[in-house]
Chains A and B, each alone.
Chain A
Amino acid sequence: MIHSLFLISNAGDLFLEKHWKSVISRSVCDYFFEAREKAVEPDNVPPVIRTPHHYLINIYREKIFFKLMFLFSKLGVCFIVDVLYRMCADYFGECSETTIKDNVVIVYELLEEMLDNGFPLATESNILKELIRPPTILRSMVNTITGSSNVGETLPTGQLSTIPWRRAGVKYTNNEAYFDVVEEIDAILDKSGTTVFAEIQGVIDACVKLSGMPDLTLSFMNPRLLDDVSFHPCVRYKRWESERVIAFIPPDGNFQLMSYHISAQNLVAIPVYVKQNISFFETGSSGRLDITVGPKQTMGKTLECLVVTVHMPKVVLSANLSATQGTYNYDPVTKILVWDIGKLNPQKLPNLKGSLSLQSGAPKPEENPSLNIDLKIQQLAISGLKVNRLDVYGEKYKPFKGVKYVTKAGKFQVRT
């Protein structure tokens, strides 16, 4: 399966390699560098590159290319893409070139544990954390003094148990369970503000710190809203099918309980409207920009963290704008205009206005750039989903429970 792994930074620096079978020369990466050069944006590098003896899979995350080489590929490519992603997301929280370089030994040990002969062995982060304990400042201090190690001495109990995601003997003095319902609106609005396409993607993130082996049941006020769901392996699928409740023995700590999808069939409330006018003049190599943002269907909540991002055409050299609220920044290299508005005040709508100067002589751009909008609404799940109650079975104590709702903009785009 997976033969080797190379990590390459955005600058083209190969800073980690790991081979699960015999060693493959790193010259194989030349194929990748070639492709990388051809594609202007790192996003556009083809995910699969074929070389005479190997197939290269490129995964681009956080400015690092994860690159895999493998000879035999009986299974889908999805497979490999997934393992790697799981690794960086779960284990380090933040996964950047620096963190990997700083923890190179731990990453290497992890990779060793995760795959055997290129086949995934343990990818559950709970198990990995028991096998190799994550580094903390405190622990590294203690280790230096006492000479103890980061490596677990026994087989993690989860590995063998029927519930691989939970370790045995969890103990807390304060038993707490928190759930975050996070919804993201994916939408495309057209010029006139009409919704071309809109849907809601939601996840429920949980932070469960409960002692023993609690068995939780989470129920919703309106489970019918959920159109398509996918669960953490701990959720009993059958209970969901028959009763529409989520019954599970939770992993310890943070995990994503479920993700769901509310389809475009329902009408999706769009919390914001944008009035925009971007035009480029035929002569004089300049253009005008005028954007106003206002609240639409916000259910009485305030819009926060409002950011408008515009990918300007290549010919735009600079922008001379004035914002009534927030700050704007135009990066002439990446051609990205970011207008950070912050909190939206419905009484005084924020406006960004001014002129753009274009490269002289170049023809005016044909398409107006589309706007990407980022926003956040606290204490609201835009779909109307509500958690009804959480019951704990199997343990005697009364845990502290909490649910938080957040709505964010996902891929929210306004065409102009």
Chain B
Amino acid sequence: MLGMSANSVSYNEQGSVESGVDAAQENSSIPGSISSGGAASSLFSADYKKNEDLKEMLESNKESLKLEAMKRIVGLIAKGKNASELFPAVVKNVASKNIELKKLVYVYLVRYAEEQQDLALLSISTFQRALKDPNQLIRASALRVLSSIRVPIIVPIMMLAIKEAATDLSPYVRKTAAHAIQKLYSLDPDQKEHLIEVIEKLLKDKSTLVAGSVVMAFEEVCPDRIDLIHKNYRKLCNLLVDVEEWGQVVIIHMLTRYARTQFVSPWREDAVFDENSAKAFYDSEEERRVDQSKPYIMDPDHRLLLRNTKPLLQSRNTAVVMAVSQLYWHLAPKHELSIITKSLVRLLRSHREVQYIVLQNIATMSIQRKGMFEPFMKSFYVRSTDATHIKTLKLEILTNLANEANISTILREFQTYVKSQDKAFAAATIQAIGCCATNISEVTDTCLNGLVLLLSNRDETVVAESVVVIKKLLQTQPSQHSDIIKHMAKLFDNITVPMARASILWLMGEYCEHVPKIAPDVLRKMAKTFTDEEDIVKLQIVNLAAKLYLTNSKQTKLLTQYILNLGKYDQNYDIRDRTRFIRQLIVPNEKSGALSKYARRILMAPKPAPVLQSAFKDRDRFQLGTLSHTLNSQASGYLELSDWPAVAPDQSVRNVEVKETGAPALSKSKHAKSNEKFYSDSEEEDGEEEEGSNSEDSSSSSSEESVSESESEENSDDSNKSSSSQSEKSSSESDSEKKKTLKNKKPQQQKLDSKDRKQKNGNAVKVESRSESESGSESSSSESSSESGSELDSDSDSGTDQKKNTKPKPVQSKPVIKKVEKKEVSLLDLDDFSPVPVTTPKSSILSPNLLSDLQGLLISPTASALQASSPVFVPETSHELLHRMTGKGLSAQYRFTRQPCIYGNSMVSLQLTLSNSTDQALENIHISEKSSTGQNIHRFNAIERLEPQASVTVSMGVDFNDSTQAANFQLCTKEDEFSVSIQPAVGELLLPITMSEADFTKEQGKLVGMNESSATITMTPENVSSQSVNRKVVSVANLGVIPSGQENIYRFSGKTVSSGSLVLVSVVLKDPDAVITINTEKTVMGSMLLRQVKTALTNSGP
């Protein structure tokens, strides 16, 4: 503390008055902070020194003293203290030989040069000299500092230095030059034109080191000069994998903007995609052409971008993953979007700040594309340790994801949240329940009842929020809910939150005709307390009075008058205004004129229900992942994404001309680039649609590749040597390639007929860009040359040989017309690492016991012993119901959803997928009324029209009466009728329940003798683990797993769907044998189940 006061005194003596005051303030604001700053130096000097001492130290001859002084000065800067009066002493050391000292001086200069411009000029000549230094590190850091010192006089010097550095041999210096461009631009925007020239030059740079920085400069200085990008577009796409992470982010964002201006939208309504080539085989190509007036063909450059960014989803850098995700979101065809899901969900494991951003983006996405995140719904479950803003975002997403199939699960989850200690979060959950209720009409009543139960909650905020939500819900459902309103009227006295009181009053008024007895009574009570209410409540009292006056003037005339009088003299002008207005409107007098005749129609007009919608509804106007999106308002410097152009601009602008004469030079420069690339996987995924036919080639060549790669790796003792030799090799190779492509191009173009010209052009471009990227990858990671050779051959074939050229054509154009979206990836590249996420079973089934679920909202700790639970495992397999051939183009598949059926307690719920594989729409698909067997079937609503190639998923319920007898029924279209039957496996006739271990043993004890069936089997060794036993059993039968205390006993329980009889299964492992015991009243089912469990456990394999 002594040192501190001394310090401020010395400031006052030496520095200007102003700085002295500054320092004093600073010091007082951070008490005691000087002590830690001195900590490092206190090692060497016993007492704290004043700035005077620092000056002396700087002027001494000893390097170590100077260094020590500089360290302390930097320490002062770091703490935000003013050290500017030391400037003259410091600047003398700028030419020091000691590199550390020099660096510290640089740090100081950059901080204070702006304030002491004249003195800063003294240092400039040193930098100019350093710019010519043979050491690239020194050149670069000199440029860095020179461009950072923000002194306007040196703008010309900076300009000169930048121009020079931009042609430096060292890529590191060129990178620094790119950074300097932005700094100069912010210092003097008049230099823009000159700077753009430099940017143009640097954009052509082939070094991965420079790419990111120069694109950053481009974004800062001239983001609108899209024309500069054209020629570099393909290069940037190909380099992208090798650019350092931060550069990738910048480039991806820039390319997203670029692509939006250059390519046509892949999302056109009429452009439906069909990657499912199996289907295309059956339909003749010509027909397809007829209905598709103009099929969408993705620009190969557009595809190139998507393909090259895809591997970056695996980056460890969250910013890169986010950038790629937004690129896919904004650019990719809708059906390819699903690949980003997993990566985004992965980011949720990151720190809370990242989580916050990612969740926001997911929230926006999930509004438009529910399906994307539905399989990962559980990843958005809230933990009690999450921060509040994370919790609310997760809630938002869960609400967005809710649909008929999963609503029961989500509501059950919500019910846990409502009880949260975090009251703000509990309130948000209630809002979310309201949202679900409006969005999914099937559960509205259930939710409403659940919310009514919440009204008796002890916590006020919860009650208030429920009232508000109920009000909104009742408004959307103006049917008879008078009992709910009555209930609320009863609770009214206990509710104190103004918003809730106001909501109840409004409801009373709005539906006063439904509650003719209660409403006037409430008004009477309110008249008494009017003066004590909050403003918002007062307004609603006036409203209620007016409405009652109109409907029931006999009882309420006096009351209304009284309330209006009270309102007239209220302190709040809003209330006075409202009272005056209402009085004029409803009380007829000579002045009131025409309006009062319409009073009833004005006040009692049917009001449109409020739309409960997500706060993220319109966020998608901002580019995802940007600050503007996070804030939901335009941040400064935000560059808007343009809409897709209606017609694609000329795509030839991106062609890089290849001059025959200039070929050697060009290829040489390419090596320079390709040397720098390390793992450029530019030709990944040949399984993409354009090369669907090539997939065989690539798979066979990949094995070759691995061999040759490992070979080369073995003998590359010295990587430098080998890479140089490789580059030599590849130089010759790529030369020949170049020539080949050139040759190929010529005949091709001659033979093109004018109609197809455009598409062909694209192909030619493709070949060229391919050869380029291959040469890169060859020389760098020495992928097998054989692969690229074969690859190239197959491509060039299509160019040279006219016969062959016609053959691949249909194959190429076929995939463009796709319709069934999902199958696309799985068909072509099963091994692809990021497949379409396995869609978890979506049943459009609602459970009838939702109400009972929601009853849990009420705080009652009594948990019943037998609880229905959600299925542990839902099989993905679906069974054929109607084959396409027998169904005359209509095919149907069914799947057991294992959810409780909403149509009836004793029904098994099924999900039916109907697809139309004809080329005409099928109309009026339904299940015929007459059912041949005795089963009770809940039919799905008739589908009026099923478009060609479209498919629809519906749900139905069948009561199998706990028997495996098949359910037979007629599936009808407008013209035809098909008999179909559903044969359930015994395991599907069950519903899982959970109980405690003790209950299980108790129940098991009751079901002995005839009701018990057991068998001993020998387990295959791989089945012995607990995981596999559990998995096997639950996949055979829809049973709940009971947590077991003993390691070798596994217990499962369920009940039959129709009669609700208990089914208890236990598996006891006695190495190597296992005893399976099944206890149930339904002995037939028991024995069938036993057989199935037995086979499942004895079979090996998954």
Interfacial chain A residues near B717, Cβ < 8 Å: 394-396
Interfacial chain A residues near B867, Cβ < 8 Å: 192
A43 in contact with B627 given A22-B150, A241-B833, A413-B384 (CB within 8 Å) = no
A76 engages B322 (CB within 8 Å): yes
Q: Which of A124, A201, A267 has the most CB of B within 10 A?
A: A267
Which among B182, B346, B1031 is the interface contact of A228 at CB below 8 angstroms? B346
Smallest beta-carbon distance A23→chain B, Å = 7
B1043 engages A193 (CB within 8 Å): yes
A116 in contact with B314 given A78-B322, A160-B209, A273-B1045 (CB within 8 Å) = no
CA of A313 to CA of B194, assembled, Å? 65
Which among B63, B319, B702 is the interface contact of A76 at CB below 8 angstroms? B319
Which among A17, A44, A108, A123 is the interface contact of B387 at CB below 8 angstroms? A44
B176 interface residue, CB < 8 Å from A? yes
B627 engages A415 (CB within 8 Å): no
Q: Which of B144, B357, B421, B702 has the most CB of A within 10 A?
A: B421
CA of A384 to CA of B1024, assembled, Å? 14
Which among B111, B216, B421, B1044 is the interface contact of A313 at CB below 8 angstroms? B421
B859 engages A215 (CB within 8 Å): no
Nearest A-chain residue to B110, judged by Cβ: A112
B799 interface residue, CB < 8 Å from A? no
CA of A160 to CA of B1031, assembled, Å? 52
CA of A112 to CA of B107, assembled, Å? 8
Give residues 70-110 of A contacting B (CB, 8 Å): 71-79, 81-83, 85, 101-105, 107-109
A233 engages B315 (CB within 8 Å): yes
Interfacial chain A residues near B125, Cβ < 8 Å: none
Q: Which of A19, A55, A241, A415 has the most CB of B within 10 A?
A: A241
CA of A327 to CA of B230, assembled, Å? 68
A47 engages B357 (CB within 8 Å): yes
Which among A48, A120, A190, A242 is the interface contact of B246 at CB below 8 angstroms? A120
Interfacial chain B residues near A188, Cβ < 8 Å: 381, 383
B387 engages A43 (CB within 8 Å): yes
CA of A85 to CA of B250, assembled, Å? 19
Give residues 33-47 of A contacting B (CB, 8 Å): 41, 43-44, 46-47
CA of A14 to CA of B677, assembled, Å? 43
B1001 interface residue, CB < 8 Å from A? no
Which among A73, A108, A197, A199 is the interface contact of B77 at CB below 8 angstroms? A108
B848 interface residue, CB < 8 Å from A? no
Interfacial chain B residues near A150, Cβ < 8 Å: 100
CA of A209 to CA of B549, assembled, Å? 88
Which among A17, A83, A101, A279 is the interface contact of B80 at CB below 8 angstroms? A17
Interfacial chain A residues near B171, Cβ < 8 Å: 160
B78 engages A107 (CB within 8 Å): yes
A82 in contact with B80 given A149-B99, A297-B1027 (CB within 8 Å) = no
A119 engages B1047 (CB within 8 Å): no
B interface footprint on A283-302 (CB within 8 Å = 1, 0 otherwise): 00000000000111111000
Name the segment of A317-325, A337-345, A360-368 touching the other chain: A360-368
A393 in contact with B710 given A44-B389, A367-B421 (CB within 8 Å) = yes
A123 in contact with B710 given A82-B317, A413-B384 (CB within 8 Å) = no
Smallest beta-carbon distance B205→chain A, Å = 14
A71 engages B677 (CB within 8 Å): no
B interface footprint on A47-58 (CB within 8 Å = 1, 0 otherwise): 110100001011
Interfacial chain A residues near B63, Cβ < 8 Å: 147
A74 engages B638 (CB within 8 Å): yes
A interface footprint on B345-356 (CB within 8 Å = 1, 0 otherwise): 110010111101
B75 engages A104 (CB within 8 Å): yes
CA of A160 to CA of B209, assembled, Å? 8
Interfacial chain B residues near A384, Cβ < 8 Å: 1027
Which among A43, A162, A297 is the interface contact of B352 at CB below 8 angstroms? A43
B99 engages A243 (CB within 8 Å): no
A31 interface residue, CB < 8 Å from B? no
A192 in contact with B78 given A73-B635, A78-B319, A313-B421 (CB within 8 Å) = no
A14 engages B635 (CB within 8 Å): no
B710 engages A213 (CB within 8 Å): no
CA of A31 to CA of B712, assembled, Å? 59
A109 engages B107 (CB within 8 Å): yes
Give residues 51-80 of B contacting A (CB, 8 Å): 63-64, 67, 71, 74-75, 77-80
A48 engages B630 (CB within 8 Å): yes
A interface footprint on B369-396 (CB within 8 Å = 1, 0 otherwise): 0000000001101011101110000000
A interface footprint on B143-158 (CB within 8 Å = 1, 0 otherwise): 0100010100000000
Give residues 711-740 of B contacting A (CB, 8 Å): 713-714, 716-719, 723
Interfacial chain B residues near A314, Cβ < 8 Å: 421
CA of A124 to CA of B78, assembled, Å? 23
A351 interface residue, CB < 8 Å from B? no
B579 interface residue, CB < 8 Å from A? no
Nearest A-chain residue to B457, judged by Cβ: A366
Smallest beta-carbon distance B374→chain A, Å = 13
CA of A116 to CA of B861, assembled, Å? 59
The number of chain A residues with a CB under 8 A from chain B is 128
Interfacial chain A residues near B637, Cβ < 8 Å: 71-74
B671 interface residue, CB < 8 Å from A? no
Interfacial chain A residues near B354, Cβ < 8 Å: 78, 81-82
Interfacial chain B residues near A191, Cβ < 8 Å: 863
A14 engages B30 (CB within 8 Å): yes
Interfacial chain B residues near A73, Cβ < 8 Å: 626-628, 635-638
A interface footprint on B1019-1034 (CB within 8 Å = 1, 0 otherwise): 0000001110011000
CA of A243 to CA of B702, assembled, Å? 9
B625 engages A269 (CB within 8 Å): no
B419 engages A18 (CB within 8 Å): no
B458 interface residue, CB < 8 Å from A? yes
CA of A243 to CA of B703, assembled, Å? 9
A237 engages B681 (CB within 8 Å): yes
Name the segment of B34-42, B290-298, B747-755, B897-905 touching the other chain: B34-42
Which among A14, A78, A396 is the interface contact of B358 at CB below 8 angstroms? A78
Smallest beta-carbon distance A28→chain B, Å = 12
CA of A60 to CA of B352, assembled, Å? 9
A149 engages B67 (CB within 8 Å): yes
Smallest beta-carbon distance B284→chain A, Å = 36
Nearest A-chain residue to B139, judged by Cβ: A155
B367 interface residue, CB < 8 Å from A? no
CA of A228 to CA of B348, assembled, Å? 13
B244 interface residue, CB < 8 Å from A? yes
B260 interface residue, CB < 8 Å from A? no
A411 interface residue, CB < 8 Å from B? yes
CA of A76 to CA of B357, assembled, Å? 9
A413 engages B385 (CB within 8 Å): yes
A192 in contact with B172 given A46-B389, A82-B319 (CB within 8 Å) = no
Interfacial chain B residues near A50, Cβ < 8 Å: 631
A interface footprint on B816-843 (CB within 8 Å = 1, 0 otherwise): 0000000000000001111000101000
A164 interface residue, CB < 8 Å from B? yes
Which among A79, A228, A237, A394 is the interface contact of B719 at CB below 8 angstroms? A394
Given contacts A78-B354, A105-B104, 9 further A-B contacts (CB under 8 A): A22-B114, A76-B357, A76-B625, A78-B625, A102-B36, A150-B100, A215-B713, A238-B311, A297-B1027
25 example contacts (A-B, Cβ-Cβ < 8 A) are as follows A18-B78, A47-B356, A48-B630, A72-B637, A73-B627, A75-B253, A75-B625, A75-B626, A78-B318, A78-B358, A78-B625, A81-B351, A83-B246, A104-B40, A197-B379, A199-B379, A230-B315, A230-B346, A233-B245, A261-B342, A266-B1027, A296-B1043, A363-B458, A366-B459, A370-B384
Which residues of A approach B to under 8 Å, CB–CB? Answer: 13-19, 21-23, 26, 41, 43-44, 46-48, 50, 55, 57-61, 71-79, 81-83, 85, 101-105, 107-109, 112, 116-117, 119-121, 123-124, 144, 147, 149-151, 153-155, 159-160, 162-164, 186, 188, 190-194, 196-197, 199, 201, 213, 215, 227-233, 236-243, 256, 259, 261, 264-267, 269, 273, 279, 294-299, 311, 313-314, 363, 365-367, 369-370, 372, 384, 393-396, 411, 413, 415
